[in-house]
Structure 1
Amino acid sequence: MTNNENVNGKNINLVIGGTGKTGRRVAERLVQRGVPARAVSRNSEIAFDWHKPETWGPALEGVRAAYLTYAPDLADPAAAPAIREFAARAVDAGVERLVLLSGRGEEETHPSEEAVKASGAQWTIVRCAWFMQNFSEDFLLEPVLGGELVLPAGEVPEPFVDLGDVADVVVAALLDDGHAGRTYELSGPRLLTFHDATAAITAASGREVRYVPVTAEQFAEVAGEHLPPEIVELFTDLFTRILDGRNAFLVDGVQEALGRAPRDFSDFAREAAAEGAWKQ
């Protein structure tokens, strides 16, 4: 994807994590609207690395608004200090707006949120939990292709949110008035268990996919056979802590930000299947 930058004045919208799930979609939408965008990552032409503050200055040159995503996860203890320092440097560089992707139901992300709020910039927080696209382009894709999701998620329902909705909210917060000082919590229009989600994928793709609930210990044992210990720990924590029912209710962030209803999981599944997401 080509950025359409304009460094004459503070016109550029910075997208950190520009090759990631949300950042890629945000950058694409900005470019489609003819808005100057700079999508950065560790491997971009203008490189950006949260662990290398010397990369921040070049990324901030000519920037008026910035979308912040933190890798590996905003709940990481290292996130808040980095976000705080970056936000201060961004404001000093003339950045007017900061939009932060945060985790829904994750208290560990609150220090990073507070750092953005205290920066002096116009701020918007976008809180999300599980993305629908985790099933089609992320760590659940391989198990879906294998026909079986073995996860320690029990029967807790989750209001899966579409990444297109997330990107639309972020772009609105970057470009439009009326979103400063708002915290948007995003969800889809209905609650689904992983049984429901795999049934929808089966119906849309014609590929039989079933969900097999297991204990956290069973999951860690199986995952440990082909994943590094730190990844196994991250996934086990993700399933057992975030999917404990804390997010098992709907919220109106998409409607509040965009004036429309969020996308349904069945629509996502049909489109993903039509695009060949689940063809081997």
Structure 2
Amino acid sequence: MTERAQDLILVTGATGKTGRRVAARLEARGVPVRAASRGAVPSFDWEDRATWAAALDGVRAVYVAYAPDLAVPGAAETVGAFARQAVAAGVERIVLLSGRGEAAAEAAEREVRAAGADWTIVRAAWFMQNFSEGAFRDLVLAGEVALPVGDVPEPFVDLDDVADVAVAALTESGHAGRLYELTGPRLMTFADAVAEIGAAAGREVAYAPVPLDAFLDALRGDGLPDDAVELLAFLFGELFDGRNARLGDGVERALGRPPRDLAAWARAAAADGAWSAASAEEAAR
């Protein structure tokens, strides 16, 4: 039996960094959630449009977190087709996770706006959790974070803030037609961020800016697929040119509170064992 359309929320990317947080928060509120992924039932795959109808059946609102990234070729067209199908299926509200300073992401935003549902755009800065959950966690554990970014500052944002804004937009009134730029409360260079993470973790962690070509060659040498290398080439080669070196007020506007600072996040992540000795042993296996 299908859940009532006025209740059910579809969360795409439900096994990813933002999606699993959004789904968990909705479930904690008692909101019926359909957590969409290739391994879910019904299965959902961005690359297989035949899976979309079952995932959208009975759904009132959708959280769209496109994978691998809105910057990849064809992403905007795919998101647009999905948004239009969602509206045709009865979806009333769409919340899109987007990126700052990305022309391709803005193309996807336009597609969602034009689809016909109430929409909210959530543009997020670089996630703090990239240093604690993703590939760069291993660099922290190794004692040196080497990335092709120099002194350009970034307003790192806490994923919990991103998820809180998304949930508010999915479940509360007053967010339709809003574009929220989500950042942390201050601009920091990557070197600054890594220093604060090292202090919170009680580890010696250095930051080393490296040439983009050398960084990409190292990734290829580690066996990273070409499409993933190309995506990182875009992200590091274009987005850290200063275009995003500014603060946004999206967290305050959406939630009525300030965003979490990186230092507070790093202390909490360290207390939770993000960079513990056990984590280091696991990463070394």
Report the TM-score, using the length of structure 2 for normalisation: 0.94
Within a 5 Å distance, the mapping from 1:49-198 to structure 2 comes to: 49-198=45-194
Unaligned runs of 5+ in 1: none
| C-alpha deviation, 1:236, in angstroms | 2.6
What percent of counterpart residues are identical? 59
| C-alpha deviation, 1:221, in angstroms | 2.5
Distance 1:47 1:118 in 2: 26
Query: 1:232 aligns to what?
Result: 229
Query: 2:32 aligns to what?
Result: 36
Unaligned runs of 5+ in 2: 281-285
Distance 1:8 1:182 in 2: 26
Distance 1:225 1:86 in 2: 36
Distance 1:39 1:233 in 2: 29
Deviation per CA, 1:123-167: give whole Å up to 9, x if none.
000001200000000121111111111111011110000000000
Distance 1:75 1:236 in 2: 11
- 2:283 aligned with 1:278: no
- 2:239 aligned with 1:251: no
Deviation per CA, 1:95-136: give whole Å up to 9, x if none.
100000011110111221111101110000000120000000
Deviation per CA, 1:182-224: give whole Å up to 9, x if none.
1101100001111111111111111111100111122123222
Cα RMSD (Å)? 1.3
| C-alpha deviation, 1:88, in angstroms | 1.3
Code of the residue aligned with 2:41 in structure 1: it is E
C-alpha distance 126-250 of structure 1, shift in aligned 2 (>3 A)? same
Report the TM-score, using the length of structure 1 for normalisation: 0.95
| C-alpha deviation, 1:234, in angstroms | 2.1
Distance 1:82 1:210 in 2: 40
Distance 2:158 2:267 in 1: 13
| C-alpha deviation, 1:9, in angstroms | 3.9
- 2:255 aligned with 1:262: no
Distance 1:219 1:81 in 2: 30
Shifted more, 75-84 versus 5-14: the winner is 5-14
Aligned length: 276
Query: 2:239 aligns to what?
Result: 242
| C-alpha deviation, 1:6, in angstroms | 6.6
Distance 1:74 1:222 in 2: 24
